[in-house]
């Protein structure tokens, strides 16, 4: 039986490389970019002082207001995570994580109008499946410190992002593929993640963004290709996943009007008509699933970053490994008994939120269809399912976990589960 207090104040945090999603029980979380501005390092510090800006770190929606004051090298604009990891000794990055965590509590409580019975949230934080132990320790310390300042946290726990997805989907035997901006985590789950089989590709939405930027340059929009948000909007508007890249390019070149993409930015005069180059829109989706295709070699040679390799158990996995092959690799790392139990692959994360425009079904597919095609090509017959809300599945699983874990279960470093509690641990 879940007590009424927990129903009201269960809270979840999804620390993604690109976005931080947070909030108490609701239909959807709050979402802000996972970044911050160190005000002491801004070029225009004098103006900030004149206008009474005293915060050491700016996070949340306010960041965009201060971007013009960021130095040309962007040193004061901090993205704390790289491929889901914060470096142990990077104090500036941890300062941003601390402030964005505080921002989440303050924003949530402001909208809740801080009820009289509030005495701290039950917080479930979700981290990358390969997050090292020191990240757990540091995040616990941050929550404990913030609780002393504002009594925000009654108890906190931390779980891997793929486990949160499995919890949200109410599936205890599956392979979760969680793909966000920074990386793609492939995690077999049999009640709990099979840690020895976790496979991570240093590839995610950032690679699709990089491909979109190269296409903008090819179309003559060099200046726009430098604007991260513009590139992301362009990618999301025109990008497509091909059923088969060679066939898609051939058809798009033969029928340019059917595949024509025109990108218009609301409330601006900007319009980009891809015209006869609309076949390029398939490259944006393909690079997520199969960066080994020969067409990408020319882009790598001219400077587009090649996805970095990953070292797993002493073995180096190419960053360009096709996603189907990486899933197969992960499956082979599990026991034969686990393989007999797992029959479904669950896809989650914003990097899988691709749609198929009406009339292009013969050449374009969604993420689940693409992965199923790649697995079948390797002789693997798994059901592949895209979660109903790929952007928020991790956060939803965190909320369920906050509601479900009994208050009596205290944090265990051996099991890596339970509540890190006020009055017990801090």
Q: What is the mean pLDDT of residues 263-292?
A: 92
Contact 403, 410 (CB under 8 A): no
* Reported confidence tier of residue 215, pLDDT bands at 50, 70, 90: very high
d(CA 116, CA 52): 31
Q: What is the pLDDT of residues 102-155, one digit of tens each?
A: 999 999 999 888 788 999 999 999 998 889 999 999 999 999 999 999 999 999
Residue 87 has pLDDT above 80, yes or no: yes
For the chain, percent helix, then strand, then coil, each to nearest 5? Answer: 45, 20, 35
108: closest CA among 9, 23, 5?
Answer: 23
Contact 297, 283 (CB under 8 A): no
Percent of the chain whose pLDDT exceeds 70: 93
Least confident of 195-204, 282-291, 316-325, 352-361: 195-204
pLDDT band at 68 (very low <50, low <70, confident <90, very high): low
Mean pLDDT of the chain: 90
Q: What is the average pLDDT across 292-321?
A: 88
pTM of the model: 0.85
∠ CA 214-76-212, rounded to 5°: 10
When comparing pLDDT for 183 and 385, which is higher? 385
The pLDDT assigned to 14 comes to 97
Q: Does the structure show a pLDDT above 50 at 378?
A: yes
**What is the token pair recorded at 352?**
């899988």
Q: Look at residue 41 in the predicted model and tell me its pLDDT.
A: 60
Confidence of residue 29 (pLDDT cuts 50, 70, 90): very high
Instruction: Label residue 84 left, alpha or beta by phi (over 0 means left) and psi (-120 to 50 means alpha).
Output: left
pLDDT band at 73 (very low <50, low <70, confident <90, very high): very low
Question: Can you give the pLDDT at residue 84?
Answer: 83
CB 346 within 8 A of CB 385: yes
Q: Could you read off the pLDDT of 318-362 as tens digits, one per residue?
A: 989 999 999 999 999 999 988 888 989 999 998 998 999 999 999
Instruction: Show the domains of the chain with their CATH numbers.
Output: 4-35+79-161+392-421 (3.30.420.40), 201-310+319-386 (3.30.420.570)
- With contact defined as beta carbons under 8 Å apart, do 11 and 101 qualify? no
Separation in Å, CA 386 to CA 171, 188, 308, 352, 369: 13, 16, 26, 8, 9
pLDDT computed for residue 152 by the predictor: 97
Residue 44 has pLDDT above 60, yes or no: no
């Amino acid at each position: 039986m879940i007590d009424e207090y927990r129903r009201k104040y269960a809270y979840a945090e999804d620390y993604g490389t690109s976005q931080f999603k947070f909030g108490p029980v609701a239909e959807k979380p709050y979402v802000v970019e996972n970044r911050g501005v160190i005000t002491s390092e801004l070029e225009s510090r004098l103006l900030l002082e004149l206008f009474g800006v005293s915060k050491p770190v700016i996070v949340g929606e306010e960041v965009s207001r201060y971007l013009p004051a960021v130095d040309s090298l962007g040193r004061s604009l901090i993205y704390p995570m790289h491929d889901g990891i914060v470096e142990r000794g990077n104090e500036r990055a941890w300062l941003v994580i601390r402030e964005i965590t505080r921002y989440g509590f303050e924003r949530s409580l402001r909208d809740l109008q801080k009820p009289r019975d509030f005495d701290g949230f039950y917080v479930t934080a979700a981290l990358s499946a390969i997050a090292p132990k020191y990240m757990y320790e540091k995040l616990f310390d941050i929550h404990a410190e913030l609780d002393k300042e504002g009594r925000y946290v009654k108890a906190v726990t931390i779980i891997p992002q793929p486990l949160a997805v499995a919890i949200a989907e109410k599936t205890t035997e599956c392979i979760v593929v969680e793909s966000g901006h920074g990386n793609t985590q492939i995690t077999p789950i049999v009640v709990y993640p099979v840690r020895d089989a976790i496979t991570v590709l240093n590839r995610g939405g950032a690679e699709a963004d990089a491909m979109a930027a190269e296409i903008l340059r090819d179309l003559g929009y060099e200046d726009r290709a430098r604007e991260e948000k513009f590139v992301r909007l362009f990618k999301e508007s025109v990008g497509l996943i091909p059923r088969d890249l060679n066939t898609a390019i051939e058809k798009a070149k033969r029928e340019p009007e059917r595949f024509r993409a025109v990108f218009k930015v609301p409330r601006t005069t900007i319009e980009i008509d891809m015209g006869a180059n609309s076949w390029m829109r398939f490259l944006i989706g393909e690079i997520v699933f199969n960066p080994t295709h020969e067409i990408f070699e020319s882009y790598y040679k001219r400077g587009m970053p090649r996805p970095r390799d990953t070292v797993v158990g002493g073995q180096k996995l190419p960053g360009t490994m096709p996603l189907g092959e990486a899933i197969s690799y992960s499956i082979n790392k599990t026991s034969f008994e686990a393989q007999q139990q797992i029959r479904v692959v669950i896809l989650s994360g914003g990097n899988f939120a691709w749609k198929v425009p009406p009339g292009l079904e013969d050449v374009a597919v969604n993420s689940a269809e693409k992965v199923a095609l790649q697995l079948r090509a390797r002789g693997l017959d798994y059901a592949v399912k895209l979660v109903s809300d790929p952007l928020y599945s991790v956060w939803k699983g965190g909320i369920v976990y906050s509601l479900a874990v009994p208050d009596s279960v205290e944090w265990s470093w051996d099991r890596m589960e339970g509540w890190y509690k006020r009055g017990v641990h801090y």
